[in-house]
Amino acid sequence: MTAAPPESDVPGDSDAPADGGPPEGAATPAGDGTPAGSGRRGRRPKGTKRGASRPGRGDAPGDGAGAPAEDADAAVGGADAPADGAGAPAEDADAAAEAEAPAGPAEAGARGEAGAPSEGAPGEAGVAGASAEAGPPAEADLVRASGVLKSLDGTAALRGVSLTVRQGEVLAVTGPRGSGKTTLLGCLGGLLPVDDGEVWFAGRPLHSLPRTERERLRREHVGWVGSEPQLVPELTVRENAALPLLLAGAGRRAAYTAAAEWLERLDVAGCARLRPAELTQEQRQRVAVARALAPLPRLVLADDPTAPLHRDAGEQVLRVLGTAARSHGLTLVLALNDPGQARHADRSVALLDGALSEPAAPLAEAAAAAAAAPA
C-alpha cells in the first residue's frame, strides 16, 4: 500500500481544487484562463522546471485527493489509510474494493470512526493492540511452570512438571519426603534455576533471567518459610521479623510495626526482645513465619512449615498462613508431607518421584464429599 506524502509535500486546504485537482501536473496559476476543475492541462509558466511542483507518482493517492494538512501527522505516523477516509491506491484492487464497501470495525478504528485507534496501526493491528493493552483478567496466573526438568547431584528431582498457580490462590503440594516438593518450590520462587522448561512469575520468565535479576525479584516479591527457622542469631525476634522490610528500605518504625502485628497473630509477641537462642524450636518457627508475612509478598512459599511443631501448633500456623493469604490477596504454595493438612488449601496436587501423579483437585469439593459420606 502506498504511503501518504510527508508533511512538507502535502498541499494545504487552500491549494487543493474542489474536484480533487488535475490528474497530473502542477496547479494552474491564477489568470491563465483555465477554469478550475475543467480537466484541461494548464500551461506551464516560463522559467518553471518541468515537474517542479508536481507530486511524485508514488505519492499521489489513487483517487487524486491529497490528505488534509491537519491529518499529515497521522499519515506520516505510519497509517496505511488516510485519517479522513480517502480511498485506497488504484493499484491495490482489494483495498479499493474495501474502501467502496461500508467500513468494518477494523477500518473504523483505523479512521477514527469508532473509538481511538492504536497509535500508528490501522485495521486489524489496531484491534490487536487494543486487546493487548486490556491487561490480564482478574484471576491471572501468577506462577506458571511448563515442562520443568531439574536434577540435583545427578539425580532427577523434577521430571517435566507443569503447574499453574493463580493470584490469591492457596495451593498444597503433597507427597512423601524425597518426592521433589522442596525443589519445585525453589524453582517456582526463582531460588533454583531450571535445567529445562519454563517458569513464569507475574509475566516474567524466571527460566531466562540472570541470577541477579532472579534474586532481586525474589527479595521483592517472594516470602519463604522452610522446615527450619534459619533466623539471624545476632538479631532480636523483632529485628528478625522486620528484616525483609528493613532490607527493602522501609522505615524502622513502619517495619517494626508490621513485624509486631504478625508476631502477635502467631503468639510470640512477648518474645520480641529475645534472641533466637533464648526461644524454643517451635517459637523460632513462628518467628520465621512472621518474617515471611511481614512484607506482604505476592507469593509465599512454605516448605513443610509445620515440621518442627506439635500437631496443634502446626494447625495454628497453617490457619494463620491461609488467613493471611485470603485476607491480603497473597498467593500461598504449601509443600506438605501430610495429605490431611491440605484441607487448609483451595486446591491440592500430589507429587511423586518428581512428577505430578494426579491432576489438581479442588479441596472444597473433596471435603464436602467426605463430609457427606457415611461414617
Given a cut of 60, whether residue 169 has pLDDT beyond it is yes
Residue 42 DSSP one-character state: P
Task: Look at residue 135 in the predicted model and tell me its pLDDT.
Answer: 33
pLDDT on residue 17: 42
**pLDDT, tens digit, for every residue of 42-87?**
454 455 445 444 444 444 344 444 443 444 343 333 333 333 433 3
Residue 297 belongs to some domain of the structure? yes
**Could you tell me if residue 115 is inside a domain?**
no
Cβ count near 157 (within 10 Å)? 24
What is the grid cell recorded at 124? Answer: 486489524
Q: The CATH number of the domain where 257 resides is what?
A: 3.40.50.300
The secondary structure of residue 9, as a DSSP letter, is G
Q: In which residue are the cell numbers 533464648 written?
A: 278
Residue 285 lies in a domain: yes
Percent of the chain predicted with pLDDT > 70: 58
Which residue range forms the structural domain that includes residue 250?
Answer: 141-372
Handedness of CA 299, 303, 309, 315 (dihedral sign): positive
Mean pLDDT across the chain: 72
Identify whether 59 is part of a domain: no
pTM of the model: 0.60
Residue 89 belongs to some domain of the structure: no
Over residues 11-38, mean pLDDT: 43
151 strand-pairing partners: 156
207, part of any domain: yes
| Cell numbers linked to 262 | 504478625
pLDDT in tens, 207-224: 999 999 999 999 899 999
Classified as helix, coil or strand, 27 is coil
CA 224, CA 36: separation in Å to the nearest integer? 80
Q: What's the CA gap between 344 and 305, in Å, rounded?
A: 13
Residue 263, C-beta contacts closer than 8 angstroms, at least 6 positions apart? 237, 238, 241, 269, 271, 272, 286, 287, 290
In a domain, 36, yes or no: no
* Residue 211: all three cell numbers together: 541470577
Per-residue confidence at 39, pLDDT binned at 50, 70, 90? very low
The answer on pLDDT for 3 being more than 60 is no
Report pLDDT for 357. Answer: 81
* Contact present, 68 and 93 (Cβ < 8 Å): no
* Better-predicted residue by pLDDT, 54 or 284: 284
As a whole number of angstroms, the distance between CA 332 and CA 325 comes to 6
DSSP state of 140: -
Q: Looking at residues 231-238, what average pLDDT do you find?
A: 96
What pLDDT is recorded for position 283? 94
User: Does residue 144 register a pLDDT over 60?
Assistant: yes
CB 95 within 8 A of CB 26: no
Alpha-carbon gap, residue 245 to 260, rounded angstroms: 12
Let me know if residue 53 belongs to a domain: no
Confidence bin at 139 (pLDDT 50/70/90) = low
* Number of domains present in the structure of the chain: 1
Average pLDDT over residues 325-348: 94
Mean pLDDT of 283-306: 95
Q: Note the pLDDT tens digit of each residue in 237-276.
A: 999 999 999 999 999 999 999 999 999 999 999 999 999 9
